Structures are given as C-alpha cells and as structure tokens.
Homo-oligomer: A and B are copies of this chain.
Amino acid sequence: MADKDTDLKKIKEIIEIMKENELLEVEIKHGDDKIFLKRSQPHPPVGVIPSSVPSIRPEPGPPQHIQGGGAEALIHTYAAQATPSSEALAEIKSPLVGTYYATPSPDSEHYVEVGSTVDPQTLVCIIEAMKVMNEIKAETSGTIVEVLVTNGQAVEYGQVLFKVKPD
C-alpha cells in the first residue's frame, strides 16, 4: 500500500500543478515508450511570458521512480517552458545528400552569412551531388542567425544548414 500512496501523492502533485499552471506538459516515460501530453496554445496566455521564463520543476533532484502495476515508470513534471512562437527559429535543411559549398566559386563571397537577410528565393548555398551543383534556396524569410556547416563539408538529407530568425 505504501507504493500506491506514493503514486497517489505524485499524481496529486501533478494534478495540482496542472490546475495551477494551466500551461502544462506531462511526460510519462517507460523505456522506449513515452506518453507526452502538451497543451497547444489556441488562446495566447493572459499576461506576457518572457522567453526566458524559468522552468518550474516542482520536485528538483533525480527523477522519481514510481512502482505502479508491476512496471517501473518514470514520471517527470514540468511547467511548460513556453516559448512564444514568434521566437521560434526556422531551419534551412539540405534537400540532398552531397557536398556543401558556401560560395558559387572558390573566390566568391559566401552566399549568406550570419546576419544576412533572406527571402524564399534567396540562394543560400550549393550542394554538389554527382558533379552537379545544385543551388539551394532559403524557402523562408528572415535573418540568418546560425550557420551549422562549413565549406566543403559532406551533408546528408535533412541536415540543418542554417537557422533563420523569421521577420
């Protein structure tokens, strides 16, 4: 019965947190299996939440192991680490496997660098695949805030090349 008391306590705490915060994530993990629940934000929360809102971890310390129904489960609770969607960064990914080139020719300037503004039609780099130089467009608008690859580097499909702060 002691275990079940512990479980109930944990669940009660989670419920309390859910009620108090409304914006809430509940993550229940077991091995590879995971149940992850997150409230989406159809209505903006009342009041402004700064992007660097400290996360509220009601029970700091190591993860709690809860015995329940014969299985060992791991339950974390977090208040939502809400990031206003306006802060989210867009990513420009490689649509091809190949070699990344930052410049159209060895002596040219880089297509883009950190601080460059791009629109969907802006050429951002070349990916060479089978001797073909494929010009890659940004396909998003904003300012380059991070370049994750270096000239001449091999890149795979879906690899993130740039992070872009939307306008």
Question: Which A residues have a C-beta under 8 Å from some C-beta of B?
Answer: 1, 4-5, 7-8, 10-11, 15, 18-19, 26-28, 30-40, 42, 66, 68-71, 73, 75
Contacts and interface: CB of A to CB of B under 8 A. Distances in A.
19 contacts: A5-B40, A7-B37, A7-B38, A15-B18, A27-B69, A28-B28, A28-B35, A30-B33, A30-B35, A31-B33, A33-B71, A33-B73, A34-B68, A34-B70, A34-B71, A35-B71, A35-B73, A36-B69, A37-B68
Given A15-B15, A33-B31, A38 B70 contact: no
B5 A68 contact: no
B69 A39 contact: no
Contact of A37 (B11, B19, B27, B34): B11
Given A18-B15, A28-B28, A34 B4 contact: no
A5 B40 CA distance: 6
Contacts of A34: 68-71
Contacts of A1: 40
A86 to B, nearest CB: 15
A45 to B, nearest CB: 14
Contacts of A26: 11
A15 B31 CA distance: 25
A75 B37 CA distance: 12
